[in-house]
């Protein structure tokens, strides 16, 4: 058992491990701490290599006590694809894209929920609730279903219909709520007090950050225990960013990596970019924000996110809908199904190249956090030719 | 270079490797042959273990000559999930589900197209066409896009709209055709003669069977170089079944496995079950067949499929729409997003258990060939409660 307690990211205070008190008296976030010396004994580079191809290969640094409580659907160990960008005039040589859309439930949210639901199983919880822009809800639905725990999910009214459908197909009690994600959050809090639900909302429990941390571990392992110089990540609540930052510090502590931390870049929707504003830049707001995972007006711990961007020499950058649409087309035509959030990282890369912030010798990792299919717009099939005779084939292919 | 030629599965004749002549004069299918002794030198169990987590870990037994021609989007090495079926009264102890929905493009078709498009790149083809019930088309679209080859795809008129959308998003020239998959096939043949397109339709080129073969390799490796006793596989054109059967024979030839071949079961839609009929059983036809990958009235090489089912002591079984719907719900509530084809394998398992054909000590592997999301029906969002005040939460949770 390597889990030994929690520490505050703001004041540094330590406390015992808790399933549901993860905010320090000072307002900072409490993150799980491990016995790193004990972990290092078994979590060696060589040992990991022969373990199953899932994020649970890093089990020593995940907070679940007993293997029997691990709720797994095959999450993690997603491909890191090298992008062929030669000949397109981009002033950078090496770009990879981490294919988080190939997780169960089609998004990176599976990682966090695998750990969060495992902790719920460990504590024998019966109900789990979440407010979400969509993907965290469907991930909770799947993992809770797998564990025999009842999921209750609250989504903004304009959540993409396929994601709502997904929640239902995994058996979650599914509600839509007027307003944005923070409005949905009020219902979870109400249910917690009224019905004793456990909440797995962002930074309300210790598991999700730990699960997302494995994106950082995998990046290091897949690059041969090297780190890229830049990570571009779409940021809503930001727990993925927090998780990866924590992962890199843990690997350093164990002596498994030597590189400096990557400059971490948050990409946001120009219509909703609290981090860009807080970093002292102003986004040009052209549109209302789209209903994506980036639409989080009030991230639960924005101070920690700012700290991470500054500590690593990173940046926050806003991209607009036109740029996102173009990026989605670009990636699609190269065989990668990207969500608006994932496409935003490519758009962010273009912008940072234009600004000269990315250097030619940088190695850059983009994160495609979700499958594009989940945002599927209803298609006017009449726009797709229906062939009836050979003459038409000539017509359409001339 | 381990690729040495092709052999006919019917008359045994050998011929040189060909990119597009894969039907023997006798009518049998020509499959790729390798220098197995040469392959065995480098493709050892230990060597494979440290290779990338994709199907290209078995590169010695894939027919692409040069690594530069490999077109990869991270396909293969999908999770094999152990199903927790205790307490549901099923008279079998060990069931796994191979999670093919976690491939790029959300289906097992990615495997075949990765190899087929690599061979197109090797021969410097510019156009690739396919007739498909949907998933082969979107996989071709993605891999061709990645390789800079133009894809032209022909789909039945009633193909699920999201899959049509997927083909468009990967940049394929996309056509719908009146009728079924064989009707779509006529357009590909026409384009081949009129415009010089390469066809990658089922059993019209050598790559797709080889790519799908890797499902068999992975099964063996993931089970510790053991084979299950039963494989239940949804069958349309059947090249996945042919591929796995070939894989097991190749592994035996290399001395990498000792177990007898699994009894291979084809699951079909009761409304379209040519294999069930050919095996001498009659399916009770309740419905017209749904627009899924199983709707293939005339598999290109039904003789070979029958041979495989008989040689392995397998079976063909038909399931109807009600059974498929129920199976999809069952798997969904346990966190697995299954396509109708994937769900059919669970329905088939129930049927075979009921018949007593499955024995308690059997180890069974089901194949979830595709993500359920791709068949997403348009959701009446009005059926999902839109909460406006706290009182309603009480109402809906009472």
- In this structure, are residues A98 and A219 in contact, taking their beta carbons and an 8 Å threshold? yes
CA distance B267 to chain A (A): 23
Pairing of strands B386-387, B3-8: unpaired
Domain assignment present for A350? yes
Determine which helix (DSSP H) or strand (DSSP E) holds A155, and give its type and residue range.
strand A150-156
Cβ-Cβ contacts under 8 Å, A159 against chain B = none
What does the block give as tokens for A160? 């993409």
% of chain B at pLDDT higher than 90 = 86
CA distance B255 to A128: 49
% of chain A at pLDDT higher than 90 = 86
A170 touches chain B (CB under 8 A): yes
CA distance B130 to chain A (A): 14
State the number of CA atoms in the 13 A half-sphere of A148 facing the CB: 9
Q: Find, among B198, B191, B153, the residue nearest to B171 by Cα.
A: B153
Residue A288 pLDDT: 83
Q: At what angle do helices B340-354 and B321-333 cross, to 10 degrees?
A: 100
- In this structure, are residues B316 and B279 in contact, taking their beta carbons and an 8 Å threshold? yes
Residue B5 pLDDT: 97
Identify the residue among B373, B382, B390, B395 best suited for mutation to test binding to A, counting A beta carbons within 10 A and taking the highest: B373
pLDDT of B136-194, one tens digit each? Answer: 999 999 999 999 999 999 999 999 999 999 999 999 999 999 988 888 888 999 999 99
CA distance B83 to B93: 10
Domain assignment present for A255? yes
Is residue A336 helix, strand or coil?
A: coil
CA distance B32 to A388: 36
pLDDT of A363-396, one tens digit each? Answer: 999 999 999 999 976 556 677 888 877 777 777 6
Note the ipTM here.
0.93
Give the nearest partner residue to A187 out of B79, B337, B387, using CB atoms.
B387
Number of H helices, E strands in chain B: 13, 14
- In this structure, are residues A231 and A244 in contact, taking their beta carbons and an 8 Å threshold? yes
Residue A378 pLDDT: 58
B391 pLDDT tier (thresholds 50, 70, 90): confident
B23 pLDDT tier (thresholds 50, 70, 90): very high
Burial A348-387 (b: 16+ CB within 10 A, else e): bbbbbbeeeebeeebbbbbbbbbbbbbbbeeeeeeebeeb
CB contact under 8 A, B54 and A79: yes
- The yes-or-no verdict on residue B378 having pLDDT over 60 is no
- Which DSSP string do the residues of B103-125 spell out, in sequence order? SGGGBTHHHHHHHHHHHHHHTT-
pLDDT of B43-98, one tens digit each? Answer: 999 999 989 999 999 999 999 999 999 999 999 999 999 999 988 899 999 999 99
The C-alpha angle with vertex B352 and arms to B159 and B346, in degrees rounded to 5, equals 40
Residue B184 pLDDT: 87
What does the block give as tokens for A340? 């608006």
CB contact under 8 A, A335 and B373: no
**Neighbour count for residue A65 (Cβ, 10 Å):** 14
Q: Domain total for chain B? A: 1
Domain assignment present for B241? yes
Cβ-Cβ contacts under 8 Å, B169 against chain A = 328-329, 332, 337, 372
Window 195-254 of B, Cβ < 8 Å to A: 195
Give the nearest partner residue to A393 out of B77, B142, B187, using CB atoms.
B187
A89 phi and psi, to 5 degrees? 80, 15
Cβ-Cβ contacts under 8 Å, A377 against chain B = 165
What does the block give as tokens for B258? 């000792």
Residue B212 pLDDT: 98
CA distance B74 to chain A (A): 6
Q: Residue B95 forms beta bridges with which residues?
A: B364
Q: Is B252 exposed, middle or buried (0-12, 13-18, 19+ CB in 10 A)?
A: middle
CA distance A207 to chain B (A): 19
| Residues with Cβ within 8 Å of residue A364, at least 6 apart in sequence | A92, A94, A95, A96, A228, A229, A230, A231, A232, A349, A358
- The yes-or-no verdict on residue A287 having pLDDT over 80 is no
Give the nearest partner residue to A162 out of B164, B373, B396, using CB atoms.
B373
CA distance A281 to A272: 13
Domain assignment present for B34? no
- In this structure, are residues B139 and B164 in contact, taking their beta carbons and an 8 Å threshold? no
Q: Find, among B142, B139, B116, the residue nearest to A331 by Cα.
A: B142
CA distance A292 to A300: 17
Domain assignment present for B94? yes
Given the structure tokens 């050979």, which residue do they identify? A390
B379 pLDDT tier (thresholds 50, 70, 90): low
Residue A354 pLDDT: 96
Mean pLDDT, to the nearest integer, of B223-230?
98
- End-to-end CA distance of chain B, in Å? 67
**CATH number of the structural domain spanning residue B346:** 3.40.50.1100
Residue B53 pLDDT: 95
Is residue A381 helix, strand or coil?
A: helix
CA distance A379 to chain B (A): 7
% of chain B at pLDDT higher than 70 = 96
Domain that residue B278 falls in: 80-104+209-375
pLDDT of A110-145, one tens digit each? Answer: 999 999 999 999 999 999 999 999 999 999 999 999
Cβ-Cβ contacts under 8 Å, B49 against chain A = 49-50
Residue A168 pLDDT: 94
- In this structure, are residues A45 and A217 in contact, taking their beta carbons and an 8 Å threshold? no
Cβ-Cβ contacts under 8 Å, A391 against chain B = none
Domain assignment present for B186? no
Domain assignment present for A2? no
Q: At what angle do helices A109-122 and A135-147 cross, to 10 degrees?
A: 40
CA distance A130 to A116: 11
Q: At what angle do helices B207-222 and B239-253 cross, to 10 degrees?
A: 60
């Amino acid at each position: 058992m390597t889990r030994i307690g929690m520490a505050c990211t703001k004041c540094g205070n330590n406390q015992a491990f808790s399933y549901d008190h993860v905010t320090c008296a000072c307002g900072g976030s409490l993150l799980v701490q491990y016995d790193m010396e004990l972990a290092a004994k078994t979590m060696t580079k060589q040992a990991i290599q022969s373990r199953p191809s899932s994020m649970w290969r890093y089990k020593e640094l995940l907070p679940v006590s007993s293997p029997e409580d691990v709720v797994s659907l095959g999450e993690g160990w997603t491909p890191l694809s090298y992008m062929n960008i030669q000949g397109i005039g981009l002033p950078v040589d090496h770009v990879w894209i981490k294919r988080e859309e190939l997780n169960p439930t089609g998004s990176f949210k599976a990682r966090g929920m695998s750990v969060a639901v495992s902790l719920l199983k460990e504590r024998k919880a019966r109900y789990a609730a979440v407010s979400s822009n969509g993907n965290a809800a469907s991930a909770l639905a799947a993992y809770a279903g797998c564990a025999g725990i009842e999921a209750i999910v609250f989504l903004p009214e304009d959540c993409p219909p396929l994601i709502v459908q997904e929640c239902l197909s995994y058996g979650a009690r599914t509600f839509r709520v007027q307003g944005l994600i923070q409005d949905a959050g009020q219902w979870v809090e109400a249910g917690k007090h009224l019905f004793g639900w456990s909440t797995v909302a962002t930074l309300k429990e210790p598991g999700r950050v730990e699960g997302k941390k494995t994106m950082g571990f995998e990046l290091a392992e897949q690059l041969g225990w090297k780190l890229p110089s830049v990570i571009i990540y779409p940021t809503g609540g930001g727990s993925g960013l927090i998780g990866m930052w924590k992962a890199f510090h843990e690997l350093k502590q164990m002596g498994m990596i030597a590189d400096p931390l990557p400059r971490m870049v948050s990409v946001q929707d120009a219509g909703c970019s609290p981090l860009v504003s807080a970093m002292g830049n102003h986004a040009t707001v052209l549109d209302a924000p789209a209903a994506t995972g980036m639409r989080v007006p009030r991230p639960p711990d924005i101070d920690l996110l700012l700290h991470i961007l500054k500590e690593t020499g990173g940046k926050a950058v806003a991209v607009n809908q036109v740029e996102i649409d173009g990026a989605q087309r670009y990636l699609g035509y190269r065989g990668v199904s990207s969500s608006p959030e994932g496409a935003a990282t490519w758009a962010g890369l273009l912008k940072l190249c234009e600004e000269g912030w990315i250097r030619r010798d940088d190695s850059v990792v983009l994160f495609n956090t979700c499958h594009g299919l989940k945002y599927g717009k209803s298609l006017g099939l009449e726009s797709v030719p229906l062939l009836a005779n050979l003459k038409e084939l000539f017509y359409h292919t001339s």
